[in-house]
Amino acid sequence: MKKYFLFDLDGTITDTGEGIMKSAQYALTAFGFPQQTEAQLRRFVGPPLQGSFETFYGLSPVDAAQAVEKYRERYRDKGVFESPLYPGMAGFLERLRGNAVLCLATSKPLVFARQILSLRGVEQYFTCLSGAELDGARTDKAEVIAYARELLENPPKEQMVMVGDRRQDVLGAKAQGVESIGVLYGYSDPGELWEAGATHLVSSVEELEALCFSLL
């Protein structure tokens, strides 16, 4: 039985792809890169930003850190507002909150995550918020999950489950000995969540709600 549900934000609770992709392009343009395809920019949704700039565009750690700052120039002014909830999400979170403990577990800086949850009217459903710091601390999903568990006063791992749309969510959960639910309506590539070893897979918010309640 599960009592503690950890939720990723981007691509899981909110469809934040537009804001992230436009802000990534804004940063890449500043570094002289041409307009990228949607498929190329989708890679920024979910994983830590600095690592994405380094891995996909060959930026040095110093340049990648500057790219992150450039990204945030646009994101804090516009990107946070390009973050609608997935249809049915608010009602689902409200119903689940009446039967379980919810905690946000995101690699996004908490200052932005909290703003988005508040903007969309769902912050009150979460007992705790675990995320990254602006200085780059705690961006690894395993660290985020470990901190969430600490905030929850270290409940038994078998009572916890991580919900997310990218391999980092699944692998971070596995590293912490926690089961995972992979949501296919987010920004994962075909087969990504299955290959990462997600405990469960769902294709819609409706399926996610049915599964979560079956695990209680």
Please indicate whether residue 140 is annotated as part of the active site: no
Does 97 lie in the same domain as 66? no
Does 125 lie in the same domain as 76? no
When the pLDDT of each residue in the chain is averaged and rounded to a whole number, the result is 96
Does 91 lie in the same domain as 75? no
Does 185 lie in the same domain as 211? yes
User: Which stretches of the chain score pLDDT less than 50?
Assistant: none
The pLDDT value recorded for residue 48 is 87
Q: How many domains does the chain have?
A: 2
Domain boundary among 34, 54, 81: 81
DSSP element (H, E) containing 162: strand 160-164
Specify the CATH number for the domain of residue 34.
Answer: 1.10.150.240
Specify the CATH number for the domain of residue 157.
Answer: 3.40.50.1000
Does 112 lie in the same domain as 74? no
Does 69 lie in the same domain as 35? yes
Query: Angle at the Cα of 198 (from 196 to 199), degrees rounded to 5?
Result: 150
Give how far the C-alpha of residue 42 lies from the chain's centroid of Cα atoms, to the nearest Å.
13
> pTM for the whole thing?
0.94
Residue 160 β-bridge partners: 4
Does 190 lie in the same domain as 158? yes
The pLDDT value recorded for residue 135 is 87
Question: Which pLDDT tens digit goes with each residue over 38-75?
Answer: 999 999 998 889 999 999 999 999 999 999 999 999 99
Does 180 lie in the same domain as 125? yes
Does 106 lie in the same domain as 191? yes
What is the distance between the alpha carbons of residues 118 and 115, in angstroms, rounded to a whole number? Answer: 5
Give residue 132's domain range.
4-15+84-215
